[in-house]
Amino acid sequence: MKKFIWVVAVIAICIFGVYFWLTQSENGNHKPMANAGEDQIVNFEDTVQLDGSGSRDKDGNTLAYMWSFISTPEGSTAMLSDGGIVNPTFDYDKLGSYTIQLAVINGRKEISEPDSVTIVVRQTIKCSIALEEKCWSKGDPALVSVVVENVSEGKVNLKTIPSFTLNEMQFYCPTDIVRGEYALPPNAHSIISLERGALINSRIDISKLKWGMGPAATWPNNSFYNIVSPGQYKLRLDIEVVDGGMPKWIHSNEVEVTIIE
């Protein structure tokens, strides 16, 4: 008799368990899963956008998002643009590592386990160019004003001389960029440290380049290279910097120019 009761009890428990699992699955009882996106490394002044679009609810319920900071650099007052949307941005104010947590809630008010993402904001520089004239004839002098500024909170090291890019053609500046007693000759690989707020401000004559390619130091004076045809182009300044031992190229604004015969 006892054996019979035990068998019935086991069968009843199994039936109840299967019923519970089926009914709860049909009613959408799966907990949602949060996905805070991939870790990011950004340069100071870059826009940071978070991405929680990888979060899921197996039952297809609509998700609500809850972003919050777990850790920030000391003294930071960083804020999220909107902690309740899938892809908020946030305003950082310090170099260093920011860890942000995401939890999601489904329509049954069930909350996920949190997931986190780390954003590393590193030092960098800001560079810009300006032209006196935006319409050039081949062979005419072209004076370009170059401004390089350290906008980080620490030292930033320039590794090589800046190079200009006309669309995707690169050529080096034919003159030195000077800051105090420091100078970067063509193709230099010496490192110049820029303190916070330091400026390199120079005018560079790129007339001898004549839109050629190759290191400027190897070009003879008064040689002309007619590689680029007349037309509309964009001129950009690229600067290689050393950040934590890793070289990285920083790009300036783009200026539209016209080249005529």
For 26-55, what is each residue's pLDDT tens digit? 455 678 999 999 999 887 778 899 999 999
Burial of 3 (C-beta count, 10 Å sphere; 0-12/13-18/19+)? exposed
pLDDT per residue, tens digit, the chain (261 aa), is 555 555 445 565 555 554 544 444 445 567 899 999 999 988 777 889 999 999 999 888 899 999 999 999 999 999 999 999 999 998 888 888 999 999 999 988 889 999 999 999 877 788 888 888 888 776 666 778 888 888 777 778 887 667 777 776 676 665 566 665 666 665 566 678 888 888 888 777 665 444 444 444 444 443 444 455 778 888 888 888 876 666 778 888 888 888 787
> What residues contact 138, with CB distance under 8 A and at least 6 apart?
210, 211, 224, 226, 230, 259, 260, 261
Eight-class DSSP state of 209 = G
Residue-wise burial string across 59-78, b where 16 or more C-beta atoms lie within 10 A, e elsewhere = bebebbbbbeeeebeeebeb
Q: Tokens standing for 8?
A: 């019935």
Instruction: Give backbone dihedrals phi and psi of 177, rounded to 5 degrees, phi first.
Output: -105, 125
Query: By C-alpha distance, which of 94, 99, 209 is closest to 154?
Result: 94
* Residues across the chain: 261
Q: What CA–CA distance (Å, rounded) separates 130 from 201?
A: 11
Residue 98 token pair = 């920011």
Q: Compute the distance between CA of residue 38 and CA of residue 49 in angstroms, rounded to an integer.
A: 11
